[in-house]
Amino acid sequence: MRRTSFALITTAPVLAALVLAPVTASGTVGGGVETQRTVTLALATRPKVQRPTLERLEQDAVAKGSTLLDAVKSYATQKAASDPRVHANRPDGDIVDGFAIDPDVMIDDLPYAEVVDLAQIAKSAGITHEEAIRRYGFQGAVSRVVGRIAAAFPAEIAGSAIINNGAGVRIGFKSAVPSGAVELAGSLPVEVVLVGGKGFSERELKSVLESTTGLLGARPDTAGVRGWYDTDTGRITVQVKPRNQPTDAAGFRTAVQPPRPGNPRIAIDAVAVSDFGTRPVDGYLRGGGLLNKPDGEALCTNAFNVTHTSGDKGTVTARHCADDPYLIYWNHDTQGGHTTISRMFRAANYDIARFTTGGLTATRTFYYGWETPRYADGVETSPSRDEWVCAFGRTTGAAGCGQVTKVNISTTDDQGRPVRGLIEEVGAGLRGGDSGGVFHYGAILWGVTSYTLEVGDEPIGGGFTRADAINNGQLGTGWTVYTR
Give the pLDDT confidence of 27-82 residue by residue, as tens digits.
Answer: 223 333 344 589 999 999 988 899 999 999 999 999 999 999 999 999 998 988 88
Q: Would you say residue 3 has pLDDT above 60?
A: no
User: 78-87, 180-189, 297-306 — which is least confidently predicted?
Assistant: 78-87
pLDDT (0 to 100) of residue 286:
65
pLDDT (0 to 100) of residue 166:
86
Closest by Cα among 304, 341, 306, 300 to 473: 306
Burial of 154 (0-12, 13-18, 19+ CB in 10 A): exposed
The Cβ-side half-sphere exposure at 477, using a 13 Å CA radius, reads 0
The rounded distance, in Å, linking the Cα atoms of 248 and 238 is 20
The rounded distance, in Å, linking the Cα atoms of 318 and 281 is 10
Phi, psi torsion values for 233, nearest 5 degrees:
-110, -20
> What average pLDDT score do residues 91-113 get?
79
* pLDDT tens by residue, 425-483: 999 999 888 999 999 999 999 999 999 998 888 899 999 999 999 999 999 999 999 99
The residues, any chain, with a CB within 8 Å of residue 145's CB and separated by 6 or more, are: 184, 185, 187, 188
The residues, any chain, with a CB within 8 Å of residue 77's CB and separated by 6 or more, are: 103
The rounded distance, in Å, linking the Cα atoms of 88 and 331 is 26
Residue 68 DSSP SS3:
helix
Predicted confidence band of residue 4 (pLDDT cuts 50, 70, 90):
very low
The rounded distance, in Å, linking the Cα atoms of 352 and 260 is 31
Q: Name residue 230's beta-bridge partners.
A: 235
Q: Would you say residue 114 has pLDDT above 80?
A: yes
The residues, any chain, with a CB within 8 Å of residue 248's CB and separated by 6 or more, are: none
pLDDT (0 to 100) of residue 319:
95
* pLDDT tens by residue, 115-161: 999 999 999 999 999 999 999 999 999 999 999 999 999 999 999 99
pLDDT (0 to 100) of residue 287:
84
Predicted confidence band of residue 260 (pLDDT cuts 50, 70, 90):
confident
111, 167, 400 from 147: Cα distances, Å: 19, 18, 25
